[in-house]
Structure 1
């Protein structure tokens, strides 16, 4: 079964006031951290969803070197300003073109998503592909990263505005999937504000 990732990197960083994807943690841009782990995982391909005209200046040279460069591709989403739903749908279109059986939604501002976590989602789906989704669990709720089987694809097409994958699951599919508690509170740490970034630097920075 083919599993691809939709890597959501088309946000405006409005609350940060600057492009948070370019902010550095131990010399690596925040937008690169989860993407690098995705590249090293069992994923078949990663679709990096950006706004139109994004130069990818926030990615390190690592992503443009062979053999890694053929495992990901940029997808410019013309309607990214209309919310996360449009970015997901842009990625889903590419996933369908590539005949993917499942997609994993990964957020570019979750720097602690690891290769092991991604592989655990994939392995679990390979063993139990009757589930409509397999998600990380946070306080009994599904959170990204989330693997969504092709059973969910029609519903993803109906998302609007800033509705994301977790919205689909919580509203209509919560009893059709599986949640995994990864025992890592940092997994759900999102860098949205200057304060978030400062805390990150104080704890993990050089």
Structure 2
């Protein structure tokens, strides 16, 4: 089965006040951390969703080297400013063209998603592909990263505004999937504010 990722990197970093994707932790930009692990995973391809005109200067040089450069592609989403739902739809269109059996929604501001976590979602779906989704479990709530089977694609196509992957599960398909507790307290740490970034530097910075 072919599994691709939709890597959501089209946010405005409004609460941070600067492009958080370009902030560094131990020599790697925050926007590059989860993407690097995705590249090293079993994913067949990663669609990096950005706003139109994004120069990708927040990405580390690693991503432009062969053969890694063949495993991802940029998708400029003209409607990204209207909310996450539109970014997901842009990625989903490419996933369908790629004849994907499943997609994994990844967030650029979730830097501690590991290769093992991504591979666990893929392996679980390959063993139990009757599930419509497989999500990370955060206190009994589904959270990204989330794998959606292609049976969910029509529902994802209906997303509007800031409706994201969790909205689809909560409103439409909650009882048709599976959640995995990865027991990693850092998994759901997202960097939205200067305070979040400062805490990160104090705890993990060199």
* TM-score of the aligned structures, taking structure 2 as reference length: 1.00
Offset at 1:112? 0.3
Q: Distance in 1 between matches of 2:173 and 2:60?
A: 37
**Residues 9-62 of structure 1: CA distance to partner in whole angstroms, max 9, x if unpaired?**
000000000000000000100000000000000000000000000000000100
Following superposition, which runs of at least 4 residues in structure 1 exceed 4 angstroms of deviation? Answer: none
Query: For the aligned residues, what is the CA RMSD?
Result: 0.4
**Residues 73-125 of structure 1: CA distance to partner in whole angstroms, max 9, x if unpaired?**
00000000000000000000000000000000000000100000000000000
* TM-score of the aligned structures, taking structure 1 as reference length: 1.00
Unaligned runs of 5+ in 2: none
Offset at 1:172? 1.4
Q: Distance in 2 between matches of 1:163 and 1:137?
A: 19
Offset at 1:185? 1.1
Superposed counterparts of 1:7-26, under 5 Å: 7-26=7-26
The residue matched to 1:187 in structure 2 has which SS? coil
The residue matched to 1:104 in structure 2 has which SS? strand
Unaligned runs of 5+ in 1: none
The residue matched to 1:146 in structure 2 has which SS? strand
2:101 maps to 1:101: yes
Who is 1:129 aligned against? 129
Aligned length: 206
Q: Distance in 2 between matches of 1:148 and 1:185?
A: 23
**Residues 128-171 of structure 1: CA distance to partner in whole angstroms, max 9, x if unpaired?**
00000000000101000000001110001111111101110011
Q: Distance in 2 between matches of 1:182 and 1:114?
A: 11
The residue matched to 1:188 in structure 2 has which SS? coil
Q: Distance in 1 between matches of 2:12 and 2:114?
A: 24
The residue matched to 2:176 in structure 1 has which SS? coil
